[in-house]
Structure 1
């Protein structure tokens, strides 16, 4: 079980400055979007959007700050020697992590539409689709950059997983609030958090927690869900089509979550091909 060096331990000052740049980027994008909403509607609509978007963006920035100390090459367990850990921490976020942080802001901006539902004729009806769709597209870009540019880091892996999970929560919630998705589709979002809670509960009770093997279906299924959520948020796709398809696409993902938990709990033998 790996231990993560927190951001206050052995984080280069240059890396802290990169975090402040991320704060400035998120603040600028958030204020610019709010200003655009004021012009398109009114201050009340912008305020509601901020009320939903800011906590999500704030959580992401807190998460990034908390794990800055994990900004080391590779995704394996960090070194136990504090001096070595300090030397290994990269002073720059890198291009791949910058893309991931940008993707996180797009998900936060999409979350703002939980409290803002523009009229059908407004171009803002496309907001959640554009924001979440762009974030989902960048999910492939940051991974590709990390592998090809040689910037794979433990921080990047943590950001990718955390922001994926958050995106799978806020975008379906927007879909439900807007009537685009059935409420039971949120079982997919709940499954991701229940899996993490179950694994954490076992660790706190000193019960064995086994590693998940590589899977040929886990990542493709996540890609299918991202694509489906994006399509579901499209104003041109009839809800009468979205809802039946939701039942088809959510079922295999829920089964994989159930299987994965049985594997980490030791109730099911791990198979690398599954």
Structure 2
């Protein structure tokens, strides 16, 4: 790559990151305004503290994973949908320390997370239809899925909508990746993750269930026992996958 081409690519890289950063700032300001109107400024400040941290992580993730040679693919429509999903998950995270004292606040996490779940099915389908599947898009999809599986259950547990045991599903993703990383650093073999017909449906089931749990429709006395039943097959799948890639199965 010539010096001129490198400069142009770097400028596009900075421009793409700036666009994402401005969008994240707009989410933070808009969310603070909504929460302040619906509750109090103190609640809005707590919201923006957590949501802002999640948004900052997402902007940093995008900046770090932009492919310098193909930076132009960063803002294609499928990736924009994925980025919007990330903003919605960050907005969900903001309610961790905001008590559900008003109707708007009670419904907001379910609305944000539920919309993000719907967009999860849109971005991949759109990318395939447009022929714009990219490595960046795949990384964003996985990172935001993992973030959503962390922050939404945390809010649901903090609000008493899910039992603490459900957080084991959020932890399972990080434990799995930590285990793989530990084996890799020690020079131990790690196989490829085998194809599975149940992995994606189970993930979709969990996302739908979390959205329902966040919504103030069913009582927690109904949600809690169902959560334990729904949790078991996903944890079993994580265990099976780890045993498979490490050669134990």
The runs of 5 or more residues in structure 1 that have no matched partner are 1-7, 71-85, 269-274
Q: Over residues 123-172 of structure 1, what are the superposed CA-to-partner deviations in whole Å (9 max), with x where a residue is unaligned? A: 22101000000001100000101111011111111111111011000000
Tell me how far apart the structure 2 counterparts of residues 29 and 186 of structure 1 sit (CA, whole Å).
26
The runs of 5 or more residues in structure 2 that have no matched partner are 1-5
CA contact (8 A) 1:10 1:69 kept: no
Equivalence for 1:151: 132
Residue 228 (1) aligns with residue 209 (2): yes
**Aligned mate of 1:237, from 213, 218, 224:** 218
**Aligned mate of 2:36, from 32, 38, 50:** 38
Tell me how far apart the structure 2 counterparts of residues 9 and 185 of structure 1 sit (CA, whole Å).
48
Per-residue deviation at 1:12? Answer: 4.9
Stretch deviating more after TM superposition (211-220 or 90-99) = 90-99
Per-residue deviation at 1:255? Answer: 0.3
Equivalence for 1:95: 77
Per-residue deviation at 1:11? Answer: 4.7
Per-residue deviation at 1:15? Answer: 3.9
Tell me how far apart the structure 1 counterparts of residues 216 and 37 of structure 2 sit (CA, whole Å).
22
Residue 28 (1) aligns with residue 9 (2): no
Residue 115 (1) aligns with residue 97 (2): yes
Q: CA RMSD in A?
A: 1.7
Task: Return the TM-score normalized by structure 2.
Answer: 0.93
Q: Over residues 196-227 of structure 1, what are the superposed CA-to-partner deviations in whole Å (9 max), with x where a residue is unaligned? A: 10011111111111111211000000000000
Tell me how far apart the structure 2 counterparts of residues 13 and 255 of structure 1 sit (CA, whole Å).
46
